[in-house]
Amino acid sequence: MPEYRISVDGDSSGRDLRQLTQWLRQDTPIRTGATITLQPAHLAEGQMGTTLDVIALVTQSGFSAASLAMTICAWRRTRPSTPVVTIERNGVRVTVDSGDPADVTRIVRALESE
């Protein structure tokens, strides 16, 4: 099953990530199309420091990357500092740093490429 890994840049306390997790769990298309969990991030070998959490979405068939991108953009608009969110799938990493429709299209195309 496909898996998305989502992180919030500059979120050392993990507060934004936990709030994004709650936001995703309240979104019906996301909640019904994926299992959403918080997991420790993988540190590179030899890297020191506190492991940060990531959101892992294990998706079912029919899951919409477009819905995920739009939901994350909507969440970012509710934040006072509009944090940058990184989404990874199959080694492809994209950043969500705006809510521009062209940016959402770019994100979806990148995430849906095999």
What pLDDT score was predicted for residue 107? 86
- pTM given for the model: 0.84
* Measured distance CA(74)–CA(27) in Å, rounded: 11
Contact in structure between 84 and 46 (CB atoms under 8 Å): no
What pLDDT score was predicted for residue 52? 61
What pLDDT score was predicted for residue 48? 52
What pLDDT score was predicted for residue 109? 87
Looking at the DSSP bridge assignments, the partners of residue 92 are 89
What pLDDT score was predicted for residue 87? 93
What pLDDT score was predicted for residue 30? 92
- Encode the chain (114 residues) as per-residue pLDDT tens digits: 679 999 999 887 888 999 999 999 999 999 999 999 998 766 556 555 455 689 999 998 888 888 899 899 999 999 888 899 999 998 899 999 887 878 888 888 888 876
DSSP structural state of residue 28: H
Report residue 18: phi and psi, to 5°.
-65, -40
Classify residue 103 as exposed, middle or buried by CB count within 10 Å of its CB (0-12, 13-18, 19+): middle
Report the amino acid identity of residue 49: G
Classify residue 95 as exposed, middle or buried by CB count within 10 Å of its CB (0-12, 13-18, 19+): middle
